[in-house]
Amino acid sequence: MANALRVLLALAVIALAAGGSCSFSFEFEEATIDSIQAGFKNGSLTSTALVHYYLHQISRLNPLLHAVIEVNPDALRQAARADAERSTGHRSGALHGVPVLIKDLIATRDKLNTTAGSLALLGSVLRRAGAVVLGKANLPEWANFRSARSTGGLHGWRTITGRLMDPYVLSANLCGSSTGSSIAAAANMAAATLGTETMDSILCPASLNSVVGIKPTVGLTSRSGVIPFSSRQDTIGPICRTVADAVHVLEAIVGYDALDAAATKSASKYIPKGGYRQFLKIDGLSGKRIGIPNGFFDFANGTVRQIVYTQHVSTMRQHGATVIENLKI
């Protein structure tokens, strides 16, 4: 599998050098789903150029970070199809033509492997939304079931590729099993990624990689085709660079699924009419009370509290939130 990844990435780089139609007026780095769709609309971007960019990012960074276990050999074909559909006025939604990486616990009914072997629905759901399945995001062996004690206390280990690395601090000890998805989002290896969570596997690695992870209520997203750990806790959610991107992906994947009817039938009635994007408002924090536990953002060198923490608290207050600091826990 690792050799196949290297071959496919090499071919992607050759294709890029040979003239993959990149739009240089579009700012690829840190692109959001909204900016991607705007680029599609104004003609400064194509799905094909976007896939070329992310494949190049993977080929450049993955040998160090190990965030991606496999790329989709059909990704460029899917991108070309999305471009052709858009030229005729067809657009499935916010994810149409957007490259997405999927955690390797989720099967996709295509040429991609799923490490523990399972049939799936979720990949089909994303394709109906128009997304380009770029490949599979890496994860610790058996989703962290290999004890951290057996790997010297290190999380994020996988025998196929070696340990996954935080793109900001290579020596950082990662947590949770959606590490590859979080690393890929942080390192601009895809426009959006999907993770799964039984217990902290979306929220913890997302926070340690400075990206946005949403753990949906169990049953809001189907678990059909996902290698299971706990029917009472398993859920699938987005991991992206911005809140807005995470909401776009969440809206595409929630809903009733007959193959996971026990969970999704009861949960789907709580999906708000009009979807989740209606709540993406600049004044959304107005009137909200936000509590911050004492010492939660304290680190040895003080950098986080002095710079990042203070800046974010100030921004929340500017947008109308009441921030209560130093709560005792």
In the annotation, is 177 catalytic? yes
Pair of tokens at residue 60? 């450049």
Helix 2-17, helix 47-65: angle, nearest 10: 130
The reply to whether 12 falls in a domain is: no
Pairing of the two strands 132-137 and 99-103: parallel
pTM: 0.82
Same domain, 99 and 236: yes
Same domain, 318 and 176: no
Q: Kindly report, residue by residue over 156-171, the tens digit of the pLDDT.
A: 555 455 678 889 888 8
The reply to whether 97 falls in a domain is: yes
Got the DSSP string for 255-318? S--GGGHHHHHHHGGGSPTT-SGGG--TTTTTT-EEEEETTTT--TT-HIIIIIIHHHHHHHHH
Same domain, 319 and 189: no
Q: Kindly report, residue by residue over 44-92, the tens digit of the pLDDT.
A: 999 999 999 999 999 999 999 999 988 888 899 999 999 999 999 888 8
Catalytic position from the list 35, 47, 103, 215: 103
Same domain, 64 and 172: yes
What is the model's pLDDT at position 121? 37
- What is the rounded distance in angstroms from the CA atom of residue 123 to the CA atom of residue 132? 10
Catalytic position from the list 177, 178, 181, 224: 177
Residue 34 CB coordination number (10 Å) = 14
DSSP state of 220: S
Same domain, 118 and 244: yes
Tell me the residue range of the domain where 235 lies. 33-279
For residue 187, give every residue at least 6 positions away whose Cβ sits within 8 Å of its Cβ, in sequence order, or none: 57, 61, 65, 67, 167
Same domain, 210 and 295: no
What is the model's pLDDT at position 163? 77
The reply to whether 3 falls in a domain is: no
Same domain, 178 and 270: yes
Contact 235, 215 (CB under 8 A): yes
How many domains does the chain contain in total?
2
| Residues facing residue 237 across a β-bridge | 195
In the annotation, is 201 catalytic? yes
Pairing of the two strands 99-103 and 192-197: parallel
Residue 10 CB coordination number (10 Å) = 11
- What is the rounded distance in angstroms from the CA atom of residue 172 to the CA atom of residue 59? 22
Catalytic position from the list 182, 201, 222, 224: 201
What is the model's pLDDT at position 301? 61
- Average pLDDT of the residues of the chain: 81
- CA max distance for the chain: 59
The reply to whether 6 falls in a domain is: no
- What is the rounded distance in angstroms from the CA atom of residue 55 to the CA atom of residue 189? 7
Same domain, 262 and 296: no
The reply to whether 321 falls in a domain is: yes
Q: Kindly report, residue by residue over 13-47, the tens digit of the pLDDT.
A: 444 443 444 445 899 999 999 999 999 999 999 99
Pair of tokens at residue 280? 């993406």
